[in-house]
């Protein structure tokens, strides 16, 4: 059983979600605005295994709620409900720290599958054996290179005494690039394979993520040695000297 918080001001939609998620064996709480969500999440750290967060809320919107959570170092998995046909919502959602998104209106089975995915990924990340040898073509749970350690289970990058927390989306992107280390990964492939975006989306969002990842991983972010841009195509991860 997982504990899921639904942040949605459309009562009928929230109740429909409650009904279906409870039928799957989850425990559900509902709040109808962002402030109430933050109060609840703030008061009860680790009280929830996942949050379904609508973007369009009265007062504080979903982007601001997600960003505030991450500022408070609360990394509960967030599935954001965005407006259909607004890829910029998706991108802003990722930027604010959402882990996954679903455009409205959505098919219920898809939402249930996305929530299962979020919960499973979280579980997988917390249960994977540490320091296991990576199989060819796979990224390990803990990856070390150039004096840095990326812990994909804890969603952390350790660089000297500095620890940076990764969002699930950042970790997924990094994991994908490392799994394909030495090969060029196109922006379209990233959208499709990492973020499940099949529509034509502005790929600049990826560039913003890469800029952020470079700040975490590169000694000189403006002159990257690991997260390389391949002009007109995409990106390539190069580990260089392992430490």
Of 230, 7, 20, the residue nearest 98 (C-alpha): 7
Identify which of residues 9 and 146 has a Cβ nearer to Ca ion in the complex.
9
Which stretch in 7-15, 84-92, 175-183, 232-240 sits in contact with Ca ion by CB under 5 A? 7-15
Place of tokens 């918080």: 5
CB of 56: closest distance to Ca ion in angstroms? 4
Q: By CB under 5 A, is residue 207 in contact with Ca ion?
A: no
CB of 108: closest distance to Ca ion in angstroms? 17
Residue 9, phi then psi, degrees to nearest 5: -90, -10
CB of 10: closest distance to Ca ion in angstroms? 5
CB of 97: closest distance to Ca ion in angstroms? 19
CB of 80: closest distance to Ca ion in angstroms? 12
Identify which of residues 8 and 151 has a Cβ nearer to Ca ion in the complex.
8
Identify which of residues 9 and 156 has a Cβ nearer to Ca ion in the complex.
9
User: From residue 47 to residue 86, what is the string marking binding to Ca ion with x (rule CB under 5 A)?
Assistant: -------x-x------------------------------
Identify which of residues 9 and 193 has a Cβ nearer to Ca ion in the complex.
9
Which stretch in 1-9, 36-44, 112-120, 180-188 sits in contact with Ca ion by CB under 5 A? 1-9
Which phi-psi region, left, alpha or beta, contains residue 116 (left: φ > 0; alpha: ψ -120 to 50)? alpha
Q: Which residues sit at the interface with Ca ion, rule CB under 5 A?
A: 9, 54, 56
């Amino acid at each position: 059983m997982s504990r899921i918080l639904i942040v949605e001001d459309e009562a009928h939609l929230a109740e429909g979600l409650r009904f279906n998620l409870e039928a799957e064996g989850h425990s559900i709480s509902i709040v109808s605005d962002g402030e109430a969500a933050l109060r609840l999440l703030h008061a009860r750290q680790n009280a929830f295994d996942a949050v379904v967060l609508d973007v369009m809320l009265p007062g504080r919107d979903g982007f601001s709620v997600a960003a505030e959570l991450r500022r408070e170092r609360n990394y509960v998995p967030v599935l954001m409900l965005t407006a259909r046909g607004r890829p910029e919502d998706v991108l802003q959602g990722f930027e604010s720290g959402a882990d996954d998104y679903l455009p409205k209106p959505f098919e219920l089975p898809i939402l249930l599958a996305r929530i299962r995915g979020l919960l499973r990924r979280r579980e997988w990340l917390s249960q994977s054996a540490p320091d296991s040898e990576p199989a060819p073509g796979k990224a390990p749970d803990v990856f070390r290179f150039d004096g840095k350690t990326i812990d994909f289970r804890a969603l952390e990058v350790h660089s000297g005494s500095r620890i940076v927390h990764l969002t699930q989306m950042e970790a997924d992107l990094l994991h994908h690039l490392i799994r394909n280390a030495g090969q060029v990964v196109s922006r379209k492939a990233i959208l499709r394979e990492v973020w499940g975006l099949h529509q034509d989306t502005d790929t600049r969002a990826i560039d913003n993520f890469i800029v952020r990842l470079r700040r975490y991983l590169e000694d000189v972010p403006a002159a990257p040695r690991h997260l390389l841009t391949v002009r007109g195509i995409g990106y390539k991860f190069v580990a260089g000297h392992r430490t």
